Amino acid sequence: MNFRQQCIGHLPVESPQGRCLIIGEVAQSHDGSLGMAHSFIDAIANAGADAVKFQTHIAAEESTLDEPWRVRFSPQDETRFEYWQRMEFTKGQWSALKKHAHDRGLLFMSTPFSERAANMLSEIGMRVWKIASGEVGNLPLLEKIASSGDPVILSSGMSAWDELDTAAATVQRNGNPLAVLQCTSAYPCPPEKVGLNVLSVLRERYCLPVGLSDHSGGIYAGLAAVSLGAEVLEVHVALSREMFGPDVPASLTTAELRKLVEGTRQIERMLGAPIDKDLAANDSEELRKIFTKSLVASTDIEAGTTLTAEHLKLKKPGTGLPASSIPDLIGRKIKQSVKTDEILLLQNTEI
């Protein structure tokens, strides 16, 4: 059972086939609107993704009035603390979002940023956990989540190897299914900083499923990661490029998300169907007769003529001798006369 199957196995509806778990990340793009959050669920489901992911913030549990803005984008919140307060949903509201996601065949996920948030998400039955880059060193939170035994997805955007090693070991001690994601915490992330090379390093270092948390704002990094064997792909999603919020430049539109999903499933089919070139050539024998060429007479040739290169030409169809027969024909004599463009046969020549 691959990591995707471990995550979505409990969904109430059958999910499309595939190996890579594709997560549409809403984060704070709902801007505190519960209705907008529900709209994202429908849009991400319609795009064909496997999961929708939010973030569960409880300001008093995770922040202080001194927390600085990453980007000062909000004209209605004086402080980052006030912004987190405005992003809060109640337990009942989170439960309704989870039900809506499951009714649409989506895995529901929300990243907790405090132990209290983790408790609330556990109480509503969330069963797959994403650890944000900034929480990788939060060992009490990791230990709490790992104690559930549920699948865990660990981001790595702000961590050096020693911190990531400790986090992975903390989760692995409990035997949780675990995937580790390459992530560059830049919004948007330029191509030269995506770090596709890290996928193979992660795989070798941890012997675990790996993936990409992508902030490039396009589909290309994700498709490249899938081609390299990524089993988890997380992308931010916006309903439109004209939406409000700091994550929009690093997001895919829902139309782009659909393209990403379609491309991923196509790549999986390609990678899952290795081709034997010799067998493929045999299967193409009839096409070879149409598209390849045979040796023909370049001019009328009388019987008894000794063949030279000037007597030979290659033309379609490929039902006669191939070009590789030229050395065998040169120096032979024609037994009977042939006309221009007549296909040459080895049995009609003699030494």
Question: Does 177 reside within a domain?
Answer: yes
- pLDDT for residue 37: 97
- Domain holding 142, by residue range, is 11-271
Does the residue 68 lie in any domain?
yes
If one counts every other C-beta atom within 10 angstroms of the C-beta of residue 27, the result is: 21
**How many helices and strands, by DSSP H and E, does the chain display?**
14, 13
Question: Does residue 265 sit in the same domain as residue 285?
Answer: no
pLDDT of residue 111: 96
Asked if residue 302 and residue 237 are part of one domain, the reply reads: no
Same domain, yes or no: 178 and 83: yes
**Considering only CA atoms, which of 152, 208, 149 is closest in space to residue 174?**
149
pLDDT of the chain along its 351 residues, tens only? Answer: 899 999 988 676 565 678 999 999 999 899 899 999 999 999 999 999 999 999 999 999 988 888 787 777 777 878 889 888 998 999 999 999 999 999 999 999 999 999 999 999 999 999 999 999 989 999 999 999 999 999 999 999 888 999 999 999 999 999 999 999 999 988 899 999 999 999 999 999 999 999 999 999 999 999 999 999 999 999 999 999 888 778 888 999 999 999 999 999 999 999 999 999 888 888 888 898 899 999 999 999 999 999 999 999 999 999 999 999 999 999 999 999 999 999 998 888 876
pLDDT of residue 199: 97
Q: What is the pLDDT of residue 351?
A: 64
Residue 6 lies in a domain: no
Model pLDDT, residue 10:
65
CA 214 – CA 124 distance, rounded (Å): 28
Structure confidence by residue, pLDDT tens digits, 284-313 = 888 988 999 999 999 999 999 999 999 999
Give domain status of residue 127, yes or no. Answer: yes
- In the block, tokens 């060992």 appear at 139
Same-domain status, 261 and 285: no
CATH number at residue 96: 3.20.20.70
> Are 58 and 169 found together in one domain?
yes
Indicate the residue type of 177. P
297, 311 Cβ separation under 8 angstroms: yes
207 in a structural domain:
yes
Show the CA angle centred on residue 13, arms to residues 266 and 1, nearest 5°: 60
* Phi, psi dihedral angles at 331 (to 5 degrees): 100, -10
Q: Are 20 and 69 in the same domain?
A: yes
Between CA 165 and CA 229 the distance in angstroms is 21
**Residue 5 maps to a domain:** no
Specify the pLDDT at position 55.
95
Q: Where are the alpha helices (DSSP H) in the chain?
A: 3-8, 34-46, 59-62, 80-86, 91-103, 115-123, 139-146, 161-172, 197-206, 220-227, 254-271, 277-283, 285-291, 326-329
User: Do residues 179 and 161 share a domain?
Assistant: yes
Do residues 166 and 311 both lie within one domain?
no
**What integer pLDDT is reported at residue 9 of this predicted model?**
80
Q: How many domains does the chain have?
A: 2
Give the Cα-Cα-Cα angle 200, 204, 208 (nearest 5 degrees): 95
Residues 308 and 233 in one domain: no
pLDDT value of position 14: 60
Confirm whether 3 is domain-assigned.
no
> Is the domain of 65 the same as that of 178?
yes
pLDDT of res. 12: 60
pLDDT at 70: 75
Judge if 286 and 265 occupy the same domain.
Answer: no
Q: Do 74 and 211 fall into the same domain?
A: yes
Amino acid 15: pLDDT: 59
Q: What is the pLDDT of residue 69?
A: 77
